[in-house]
Structure 1
Amino acid sequence: MDPIMTTIAAALAKEAVTSGKQALGKLLERVKERFAKDPGSEIVLASAQENPDDTKWVDALARVLDRTGEADPEFAAELRELWAAAKPEVHSVEQTASGHGVNNSNSISGKVIGNVVQAYKITGDIHGTAGTDQPSW
């Protein structure tokens, strides 16, 4: 699956719902316009927006966007263009932490090869378990 479609799906599910940001709004409107021709896709988009923290729905939306983009390369190109305009809005998020909270302000973008851990305090070693996405502590 195209990683950009996964990123767009997450932004549409979470960011576009909670913000009135102009570029994301344009991206969302274009997707809604396209999905209006396909009730199943509309349901997936609505479900992802209603459940933005549910990876099942966000992944389903990413697959629908990917499949739609493969069938219509012009639509995929348009989404990429709209995403390029919206990306700065999505990544300009203010982060705060209080008490013993942690603010990991470093951003990770693009394809990650290997493991990434962001934590407040680690005592001991961290070992990844081969073949899974779950660390062993």
Structure 2
Amino acid sequence: MPEPVLVSIAAALAGKSVGALYELVRDRFSKRADAAAALAASAGAEPESAEVAALAEELDREQRADPEFAERLREQWANEAQAGHADRGGVVNQITGTVSGKVLQARDIQGGVSF
């Protein structure tokens, strides 16, 4: 079973919301038809879908086979996460991995919060 971070990466790749990371994986997977097919099949899929799970499995397989790729993948993932930073009082809320329970993301709250 892939690590939660790989599932998060796979979900982001499915949404093509991570440009340089997508290119890294697409280029790497171009050498393996089954991996390229998993990437293509995941396009637009929901994060909990079988397609995203299959992509996470391919990422896991590839990172186990090549520690250098694993390092580049995680480095690029961290870069993409940092790219969503706020300037001049803005806010960026981000959750990765599996979340269970309630989550509140906010900037300024006037008054109380209850669930």
- The equivalences for 1:59-78 within 5 A come to 59-78=53-72
Aligned length: 100
Q: TM-score, normalised by structure 1?
A: 0.60
Task: Tell me the secondary structure at the aligned position of residue 116 of structure 1.
Answer: coil
Distance in 2 (CA, whole Å) between partners of 1:91 and 1:45 is 27
- The equivalences for 1:51-130 within 5 A come to 51-52=45-46, 55-89=49-83, 108-109=95-96, 115-117=100-102
| Superposition deviation, residue 61 in structure 1 | 0.4
Check if 1:7 corresponds to 2:36: no
Q: Highest CA radius of gyration, 1 or 2?
A: 1
- Which structure is higher in RCO with an 8 Å CA cutoff and minimum separation 6? 2
Task: Tell me the secondary structure at the aligned position of residue 51 of structure 1.
Answer: coil
4+ residue runs of structure 1 moved beyond 6 angstroms? none
Contact kept, 8 Å, 2:8 with 2:96, in 1: the verdict is: no
* Alpha carbons of structure 1 residues 82 and 53: separation in structure 2 relative to 1, 3 Å: closer
**1:42-82 deviations in Å (ceiling 9; x for gaps):** 11000101434561000110010011101111001000000
Q: TM-score, normalised by structure 2?
A: 0.71
Task: Tell me the secondary structure at the aligned position of residue 31 of structure 2.
Answer: coil
Check if 1:47 corresponds to 2:48: no
* Cα RMSD after superposing both structures: 2.8
